[in-house]
Structure 1
Amino acid sequence: MIPVFYVLDYFGFILLPKEKSFEIFIYATIWGFIIALPFYYFKKNKQTVIRLLVLFLVLVTALIIDSYMKLPDNPITFILIMGFWVGIAYVLSPTFIKKYWKLIVIIYGPLLLYFIYLRLFSGDLQAYLEIKKDYPFYIFFLPIPILFLIWVFEQWKWLQNLKAEKSNAELSLLRAQINPHFFFNTLNNLYALTVKNSKQAPEVILKLSNMMRYTIYEGEKETVQLDDEIAYLNNYIELHKIRYKKSVEITFDYSSVDTHLTIVPLMYIILLENAFKHGVETLTEKAFIHIKLFDDNDFIYFTIENNFDPNEVNETNGIGLENLKRRLTLLYKNQHELIVSTSNNRYKTTLKISKHA
């Protein structure tokens, strides 16, 4: 673009500032970008290309008029060039221009009218040129940084909304991944109980129904009361007890927690599921799960400890835990702590969540 600028300057179509190479470089960069726009949009949006060509036609018309009439600060040229730049802004960010067009009119309308008044109605050309010496023409450029900052803020807000939508989508996916195989296993056990005409079948149906209702309806809420989450966990434990023929020691102490506190639903089920899947199911005898839920002034604590057979460690043991970590990061950010420890054949997890989150 720099050689093109000098050619246009030679034929008198434009006037380049003398001995200001940096300014010429900036101008060339801006115009190079603008001229590249039709090529960029050529395959993507041909309607936009047509708009750009019309804008360039307006610009060329303005240059021809300015060159032919040779009037300082020609109002016709001035209006056409302003229309060109507004059009370019519309092509680059149509949503922003549509949203703030009233603000743009309020800012530039009075400025344009004031310029036309000075140029055409303040006296002859000589009088105007005298006024121009003290007239701060830079005020036409002052609103540009303000509008640019507004545009930057809009982009930042859009990005934050996009992140929020992405987080919500991830949370929905993570909820969908919570213990689906548990329901299949329970249905298989229910089938076996119904074949035997077991008296436990209605109890299993009721507990499974309550769990499914909680997962589908309560699981979509932002928060639930702890007593609802406790009932959900108790149903899960009872259904597992019905499954096993072996003796399993399971304790769940929630006597030291305020059950009216609220928490994100389905937050503890993965830890309990892991205790059964990777603990109880790997042992033939003396299996145990000890659970405690309590709170203090600042945090809600959930601890779960179970034993396991070191020779039966499942390689996929970490999938559920990674799921939980991701949910905690999305929902509680820096207001939680997950501590996992293994000692001999014991596995203990403590989840600490802020009550003020």
Structure 2
Amino acid sequence: MNRFLQKNYSAFIKGGIITIVLSILLSTASFVIIKPVYVSTPVYYIINVFGFVLCWLALSFFIYKFSIYKVLVVFGLLVMIIIVESFIDIPFSIITIPPLVLFWLGMVYFIVPEFFKKYRVAIFSVYGIILCYFLVFRMLPNYVENHHQNFLNFVLIPIPFFAVLWMYEQWRWLQTLQNDKMKAELASLKSQINPHFFFNTLNNLYGLVVEKSEKAPEVVLQLSEMMRYTIYQGKEDLVALKDEISYLENYIELHKIRYQKNVEIIFTHNVASEIKVAPLLFIILLENAFKHGVEKIRKNAFIHLQMETQGTQLSFTIENNFDTSISNPTQGIGLENLKKRLAYSYPNKHELNITEEATYKVYLNLDVS
């Protein structure tokens, strides 16, 4: 409340002045015109004070959000209705019903302006028909007996329908917002993979250039092919599994060129050619195998990869040895990114198991249906 008062002092003051004027007008209509007898009790004063404060806050909020002239017109309709009803003492009169409908439409406009603007044609059409019905049949002599209740029903029935429509709009907006957020986070995770991989590869290339190795040009070509795949295929939702396999094989060949030591790398695959998967998933596991396994072991390092498909099930297994004296060989952003991407791309359709004993083994199963 304090923050509201500080930021919206002008609206708060204007709301208070209008509330006082409305209270004076309504009190005048109440005591001068119909002259009721009130019992002065604490409950009566509490109710009036509560109503005054509530009206003050509501008006202040509306004035802050909308033009003060719009607020005066809408609430002026309510005051006019109360005063006129007090004069003529006839419920559902031709003079008061149209302003009453306009008042509630104005309140809807204040509370849910975007919804009102979007469906204003439907709202005005429905209540325009209701007002026409009222104006025509109100003049008939048997209106009270035959049409009074019908009019009430026609006024009230559209409200729950519009309320349900508004709730559906909110649900759809939340779903869209969630999907957009998911896509943005997924794109962010993909962008994190690329720098992470290329940073390591450029370091490798730098070492070859410093050594003036004849393998450097070949590494540049390999890296160029991988960059092309990453840039153009990596942004797609799905890519052919065979292209992903070629990408992994290029990555392996690039590292074979770089290493001076003997490394056993075996990659077997038996997959259906029509299978498609989210891009750049498996490279994360292969990169971790090199980074936390091969690069930390002086000799007898190995990486074994196996990929196969059975129907819509795709299984990928990668196993490597590592230096057991180094704790937590899985440190890095890669594995966490993989888990998040799997959650987004394959919700409830993936299984990721990691075992760490004498070797480090990862099993990934995807339902690619």
| TM-score > 0.5 by shorter chain | yes
Residue 233 in structure 1 maps to residue 252 in structure 2: no
1:129 deviates by: 3.0
The aligned runs of 1:10-49 (5 Å cut-off) are 11=31, 36-41=57-62, 45=65, 47-48=66-67
Q: Which residue number in structure 1 is paired with residue 166 of structure 2?
A: 151
The aligned runs of 1:212-291 (5 Å cut-off) are 212-254=227-269, 256-291=270-305
Q: Which residue number in structure 1 is paired with residue 72 of structure 2?
A: 53
**Contact 1:274/1:320 (8 A) holds in 2:** yes
- Output the amino acid matched with 1:67: S
Match of 2:186 among 171, 179, 195: 171
The verdict on how the C-alpha distance between 1:212 and 1:8 changes in structure 2, with shifts beyond 3 A counting, is farther
Residue 353 in structure 1 maps to residue 369 in structure 2: no
Residue 141 in structure 1 maps to residue 162 in structure 2: no
Match of 1:66 among 85, 96, 100: 85
Q: Please state whether the residue corresponding to 2:306 is helix, strand or coil.
A: strand
Match of 1:109 among 119, 122, 128: 128
Q: Which residue number in structure 1 is paired with residue 342 of structure 2?
A: 328
- Output the amino acid matched with 1:70: D
* Number of positions where the alignment pairs a residue of Structure 1 with one of Structure 2: 335
Q: Please state whether the residue corresponding to 1:186 is helix, strand or coil.
A: helix
**What is the rounded CA distance, in whole Å, between the counterparts of 1:31 and 1:162 in structure 2?**
38
The verdict on how the C-alpha distance between 1:300 and 1:176 changes in structure 2, with shifts beyond 3 A counting, is same
The verdict on how the C-alpha distance between 1:167 and 1:316 changes in structure 2, with shifts beyond 3 A counting, is same
**What is the rounded CA distance, in whole Å, between the counterparts of 1:33 and 1:327 in structure 2?**
49
**Contact 2:292/2:330 (8 A) holds in 1:** no
The verdict on how the C-alpha distance between 1:29 and 1:326 changes in structure 2, with shifts beyond 3 A counting, is farther
Q: Please state whether the residue corresponding to 2:198 is helix, strand or coil.
A: helix
**Contact 1:340/1:348 (8 A) holds in 2:** yes
1:105 deviates by: 2.7
- Output the amino acid matched with 1:349: V
Q: Please state whether the residue corresponding to 1:105 is helix, strand or coil.
A: helix
Q: Please state whether the residue corresponding to 1:198 is helix, strand or coil.
A: coil
Q: Which residue number in structure 1 is paired with residue 208 of structure 2?
A: 193
Q: Which residue number in structure 2 is paired with residue 22 of structure 1?
A: none
**What is the rounded CA distance, in whole Å, between the counterparts of 1:77 and 1:250 in structure 2?**
87
1:205 deviates by: 1.1
Match of 1:180 among 195, 216, 219: 195
**Contact 1:328/1:336 (8 A) holds in 2:** yes
- Output the amino acid matched with 2:291: K
Q: Which residue number in structure 1 is paired with residue 99 of structure 2?
A: 80
1:191 deviates by: 3.4
TM-score normalised by length of structure 1:
0.84
1:58 deviates by: 2.0
Gaps of 5+ in 2: 1-22, 37-48
Q: Please state whether the residue corresponding to 1:220 is helix, strand or coil.
A: coil
Q: Please state whether the residue corresponding to 1:222 is helix, strand or coil.
A: coil
Q: Which residue number in structure 1 is paired with residue 323 of structure 2?
A: 309
- Output the amino acid matched with 2:113: P
**Contact 2:239/2:276 (8 A) holds in 1:** yes
The verdict on how the C-alpha distance between 1:226 and 1:62 changes in structure 2, with shifts beyond 3 A counting, is same
**Contact 2:262/2:299 (8 A) holds in 1:** yes
**Contact 2:288/2:330 (8 A) holds in 1:** no
**What is the rounded CA distance, in whole Å, between the counterparts of 2:193 and 2:258 in structure 1?**
20
**Contact 1:38/1:49 (8 A) holds in 2:** no
Say what the alpha-carbon RMSD is for the aligned residues: 3.1
Residue 211 in structure 1 maps to residue 226 in structure 2: yes
Q: Please state whether the residue corresponding to 2:352 is helix, strand or coil.
A: strand
Q: Please state whether the residue corresponding to 1:348 is helix, strand or coil.
A: strand
**What is the rounded CA distance, in whole Å, between the counterparts of 1:98 and 1:207 in structure 2?**
57
**Contact 2:321/2:360 (8 A) holds in 1:** yes
1:154 deviates by: 0.4
| Greater alpha carbon shift after TM alignment, 226-235 vs 64-73 | 64-73
Offset from partner CA, 1:210-260 (integer Å, 9 cap, x none): 111111111110100011111111121122222222211111111x11133
State the identity %: 45
Q: Which residue number in structure 1 is paired with residue 45 of structure 2?
A: none
**Contact 1:287/1:307 (8 A) holds in 2:** yes
1:29 deviates by: 10
**What is the rounded CA distance, in whole Å, between the counterparts of 1:190 and 1:62 in structure 2?**
83
- Output the amino acid matched with 1:287: A
- Output the amino acid matched with 1:85: W
1:72 deviates by: 2.9
